[in-house]
Every structure is written in C-alpha cells, then in structure tokens.
Amino acid sequence: MTALHLAWRTVRRYRAQTVLAIAGVAVIGALLFDMLLLSRGLLLSFADLLDRAGFDVRIVGGGGLTLRFPITDSSDVMRDVAALPEVQRAVSIRLLPAHIDVGARPRPVTVTLVGISEAVPGVWTIVRGENLRDEESTACPLVVGRALADNVGLAVGAALRVVAETAGGASALPAIDCRVVGIAQFAFSAAGTDDIATTMPAFQRAAAEREPGNADLILVASRPGRSRTEVVTAIQRAHPNLAVYSNDDVIEQFNRNGFAYFRQISIVLSALTMVFVFLLVATLLTVSVNQRLGDIAALRAIGIGRRRIAAMLLWESALLVGVGGLIALPLGEALAVGLDHILRQMPGLPEQLHFFVFEPRALFVHLALLVATAIAAAAYPMWLTARMPIAATLRREVVD
C-alpha cells in the first residue's frame, strides 16, 4: 500500500476534519489569490489603459504628470514634434471647467470641457452615435461621457448650451449652442467626473479666444520601428524645456509613488494569509496524528518504515492544501470581482482602471506558496511520528 493510498484512506476516514481543513484553506487561499492579483493589478491595468489609447509619449509644460502646466507656444511645439521622423502622429488636448444647461433641469451641470486637435481612437470609445470630425457641419459638436449622458438623460442629437469658466472661477464667457453627436467612454475619465469633448475650433469659441491658447497635454504616437526612448530623446533635443514621458516612464513613476501603498498592503496580507494556512493545516494534522498514534505505531510495528509514514503525512497535507487551493481559485476570482467594484468607486481614479487583474505569474506564485505551506505544515507531524517509541505507544494504547 503506497503512502498516497494511506493518506487517501485517512482523509476519507476523518471526513468532518477533512471538510473543515479544505474549507478553511479554500477561504484563506482565496484571500491569498486576491492579494496576489492586487499586488500588480493596478500596474497591469494602468499599463493596458495607456497602451490602448494608442499613444506612447506624453508632453507636458512642467510640474510633472499630476500637476501639469500649459505648454508654452504649444502650436510651435506641435508643428515641430509632428515633423520629427520618429513621430507618426501628435494631438494636442486642452481642458477647461465648464457647465452645461440641460433641458428643464433647474441647475446647470458642472463638467470638464475637453478640446482635441484631432479626434483619434483611443482617447475615448464611442458607444452611441459618431465621433468628432474635422469637417463638422455643427458649429459645436460634442462627445459626451456615458455616465453624464445616463445621469441627465442625454441622447445623440440633444441640444446643449455650454458655458466655459476661467481658471479663477466662474466667468462672463458667453454660452455657445452645441449638439451631441456621440456618447463615449473616456479612457482616463475618473469616477464621479463628467467630461464632454469637442473640436479645437469649438473649444476656442467656448473660451472666447481670438488666437489658439496653449495646450495642456500633447499625445504622441511613435512611428513603427522606432522605440519610445528614441521619440523622447528627439523631442527633448528639439525642446529641452518640456517634460516628456514615455508610457514606461509614466508606469514607473506611478508604480513608485501612486501604487506603492496597494503593493505593500498586498505583501502584508499575503504573508498573514500564509501564516493562517500554515497554522490551520499544521494544527489539524497534529491533532489527527495525536488521535492516530496507536494506528501509526501499529503500521510501524508491521514493518512500514518511517519514510513511508512521513510520506503519508506529507500526502495528507498536500491533499488538504491542494484541494482547498484549487477551490480557492474560482472563489478568489468571484471575490475579486466584488472587491474590485467597491474599490473602483474611489474618487480620482479612471473608471476603466481595475485593482484585481489576472496574470499567469499570480497563479504560479499562488501554487508555489501553497506547496511550501503544505510541506511546512507537515514538518512537525512528520518529526513527531519519526521520534515516536513504537512499543511504549502500543502499550499505552492497550492500557488506555
């Protein structure tokens, strides 16, 4: 009879204890799996969000990525950047606080007005209607965020009056009449914020500008075959006073500053869950061994060696942790969906950013940690049976 067969007979014999151990490992293992998904989930989701936008370099006037200053002489910068052989495409983006009057609503709705020089895919995704076009027949075409459209009941073709505001607060800028041409999901729109986008000429009319103002952000797509580093170097060579970031730079900066908290929380909670799994399995195995000392001594007495007994206990630990660990995967995935929905309600985060993202690495680490836990949990019961005096144990069992 093999050690695996002996372990299988034992876990079947003590069914209540086995079910308790598997259920405990499954619950704790699900938390461990979620913590592994959380450790790099934000980073992977953010990187995917940047890459899906179709631009791999960003230009700001200074102050970093979170506190941006307008780009001085952005029209000249756009012309110079677009002419670089390393660059395939560049678009400029301007932002302005505004409010809109919607139908019979008693109060205007505060929004962020986005002006873009070219409506390219990636900055937002049209879900209804159509995208902005350069040759718009409408004086002020609008693409409206889906959340805003759902909240105030906007549909494609709806007429709106947009009043832009200056940086210092509400201004006397005249209202302009606009029409909704499309409803979209903005890639970097934060939860709880409302965005509307229009063409750059319409944006200038809303801002009452005679000359184009300075852009807040310039997005650059590198030419195929050219690396992001080459594009950054070329732009900085042409305009050394600008702050230029590749997607890799953005991810690294946010990984170092913005996402470090969640990574640290994940490491701490992962360590705690591993301790809980170890204590649970080690305690149940130790109790089981103490209950079966007579049986184990009898097995030793009929010629079953220490190694096979130790292997039996190791297989018992592996069965408990293995089955519980497998159940933990779908359980952890379901739990991650609920936790992700809750955490995504945090203000200031893009709606399409996720906290829990599956990657093969997390699965491999999860399995490796469970294997290590199974071995560690079986160590003390194996040591206990190896040092057990056979004759004294059998005598005590008979007397008792």
Identify the weakest region by mean pLDDT among 218-227, 291-300, 356-365: 291-300
Summarised one tens digit per residue, pLDDT across range 40-60 is 887 888 888 777 777 888 888
Provide the pLDDT for residue 326: 92
| Rounded mean pLDDT, 328-333 | 92
Identify the weakest region by mean pLDDT among 131-135, 251-255, 361-365, 375-379: 131-135
**pLDDT reading at 397 higher than 90:** no
- Residue 217 CA to residue 71 CA, distance in Å, equals 7
CB count in 10 Å sphere of residue 176: 20
| Rounded mean pLDDT, 246-256 | 81
Provide the pLDDT for residue 241: 85
Provide the pLDDT for residue 331: 93
Provide the pLDDT for residue 172: 60
Domain locations in the chain? Answer: 3-50+259-399, 93-213
Do 277 and 375 contact (CB within 8 A), yes or no? no
Where helices occur in the chain by DSSP H, the ranges are 3-13, 15-52, 74-83, 146-152, 200-206, 228-238, 247-256, 260-291, 293-301, 306-343, 360-386, 390-399
Provide the pLDDT for residue 285: 80
Provide the pLDDT for residue 330: 93
